[in-house]
Amino acid sequence: MSARITAPSPPLALDDKTSLGSVRPHEKLKAEIVQRATELGFASCRVARAETPRHAYEFREWLRDGAAGTMEWLHRGEEKRCDPALVLPGARSVIVVAMNYWQGTREAEPGTTRGRIARYAWGDDYHDLMLERLRSLDALLIEHGGTQKCYVDTGPILERNFAAEAGVGWQGKSTMLLDPKLGTWFFLGEILTTLDLAPDAPQPARCGSCTRCITACPTGAITDAHRLDARRCISYLTIELKGSIPLEFRPLIGDRIYGCDTCLDVCPWNRFASVSREAAFAAREPARSMQLRDYLALSEEEFRTLFHRSPIKRIKRRGLLRNVCVALGNVGTGEDLAALERAALDPEPLIAEHAAWALSRVRSRLRGSRDPAAASAGELPSLGAVTTAVA
């Protein structure tokens, strides 16, 4: 059982004095870091104490309940996630940064089936971009004698807990971290450091009586406020799950082919979001112009070229084509049958199985449909045309 912090640490202003009357160590450095972080494009940079996270107990319970599904790595990192000293011996502070990735809304063209990609994956992979900038802050801390570890998403850290503690935002009922100006559309990154930096104050939670995210979730994955069962979450099913998508969830996935933004889209705090200045997060071609059936024509090599710098490369061709088949099973028409028939013969069994499922769904829809346009089988666009368009 982990120790729990019962109350937030009192905030220390930059001009706080120590008991000896001198300026607290590293206060000038903290101001320098915040300034540098702003120059590097981070929307927020604040500090929390490197202590056992406030909700470590709930995290352990969440793991015990099996809510992490097949994400074994979360179990492996359980102790580290509950004690930053196991990640970096002598850690005293956690610097948390936020980076806006909002790109505005983008409506699908009528009559096309393009498939929805979560906004965070419209542009370049944020991991590399943010890590590189964190390293620049790290260099500053090294000059002052600090030892650091930098993380963006992939480290054994309960990022949102530290971000909430540092006052970067508050944890909404969707479990997302919210900021009154950015809404939910931002990434988090952290630097664990052995330096003692003055912690910032947490923000008050501002969800109030709202429950929109819980109601809107297509799969009922937000089982209670602040609790998400990953096994039901479309983001998990389309990104983290490596195998077959359980049949019960396939119809609920709709046209989503990578991640899900529904609980973010409905959040009232997102109406204040402003477009990110990061050109790297602007939508790449696949999010802009490809139709669902175009993806089914991609070879391994074409997939790698197309998603070279995109987060989507993580799920590989087999994962993406599996998802595309599910989406076509839900929204596909007669024009998609030829591509699905070909995919049903794919040497990768995962793709073949999902394509067969989709074929039977589309065909049964067509049998029930009197719309001749829906029943007409169209030509597959040539792969040459697709790859030229996205190059």
State yes or no: 82 annotated in a binding site: no
Among 44, 235, 238, 330, binds ligand SF4 (CB under 6 A): 235
Minimum distance from residue 218 beta carbon to ligand SF4 (Å): 6
Determine the distance from the C-alpha atom of residue 102 to the mean position of all C-alpha atoms in its chain, rounded to a whole number: 13
For ligand SF4, the closer CB: 151 or 170:
170
Contacts 24+ apart (CB under 8 A), 388-391: 389/285, 389/289, 389/290, 390/284, 390/285, 390/286, 390/289, 390/290, 390/306
For ligand SF4, the closer CB: 127 or 227:
227
**Catalytic residue check, 153:** yes
234 scored as a contact of ligand SF4 (CB under 6 A)? yes
Among 263, 325, 326, 339, binds ligand SF4 (CB under 6 A): 263
For ligand SF4, the closer CB: 162 or 236:
236
- Unique residue bearing structure tokens 């309960």: 158
Residue 219 partner contact from ligand SF4, ligand B12, none using kind-dependent CB cut-offs of 5 to 8 Å: ligand SF4
Minimum distance from residue 268 beta carbon to ligand SF4 (Å): 6
From 164, 30, 143, select the one nearest 98 (Cα to Cα): 164
323 scored as a contact of ligand SF4 (CB under 6 A)? no
For ligand SF4, the closer CB: 100 or 174:
174
Using CA atoms, how far apart are residues 158 and 160, in angstroms rounded to an integer? Answer: 6
241-243-244 Cα angle (round to 5): 105
State yes or no: 207 annotated in a binding site: yes
Residue 267 partner contact from ligand B12, ligand SF4, none using kind-dependent CB cut-offs of 5 to 8 Å: ligand SF4
Residue 88: CB atoms within 10 A of its CB come to 18
State yes or no: 137 annotated in a binding site: no
State yes or no: 359 annotated in a binding site: no
Q: Which residue is nearest to ligand SF4 (CB)?
A: 172
Minimum distance from residue 196 beta carbon to ligand SF4 (Å): 33
From 95, 86, 168, 99, select the one nearest 138 (Cα to Cα): 95
Catalytic, out of 15, 153, 179, 196: 153
> Do 280 and 123 form a contact (C-beta atoms < 8 A)?
yes
What do you get for the CA distance between the two ends of the chain, in Å? 52
DSSP 57-119: HHHHHHHHTTTTTT-HHHHHTHHHHT-HHHHSTT--EEEEEEEE------PPPTT----EE-G
**Entry field: residues in the chain:** 391
Among 52, 148, 193, 219, binds ligand SF4 (CB under 6 A): 219
State yes or no: 235 annotated in a binding site: yes
Q: What SS3 state is found at 375?
A: helix
State yes or no: 150 annotated in a binding site: no
For ligand B12, the closer CB: 28 or 75:
75
Residue 307 partner contact from ligand SF4, ligand B12, none using kind-dependent CB cut-offs of 5 to 8 Å: none
Site for ligand SF4 in 144-203 (CB under 6 A): 172-174, 176, 178
From 338, 330, 341, select the one nearest 376 (Cα to Cα): 338
Residues near ligand B12 (CB under 6 A) are 53, 55, 58-59, 62, 71, 118, 120, 152-153, 157-161, 171, 174-177, 184, 186-188, 205, 226-228, 230, 233, 235-236, 239-240, 259-261, 263-264
* Helix pair angle (349-368, 316-331), 10° resolution: 10
From 212, 218, 210, 215, select the one nearest 235 (Cα to Cα): 218
Contact residues toward ligand SF4 (CB under 6 A) are 172-174, 176, 178, 207, 210-213, 217-219, 221-222, 228, 233-235, 260, 262-263, 266-269
Give catalytic residue positions.
Answer: 153
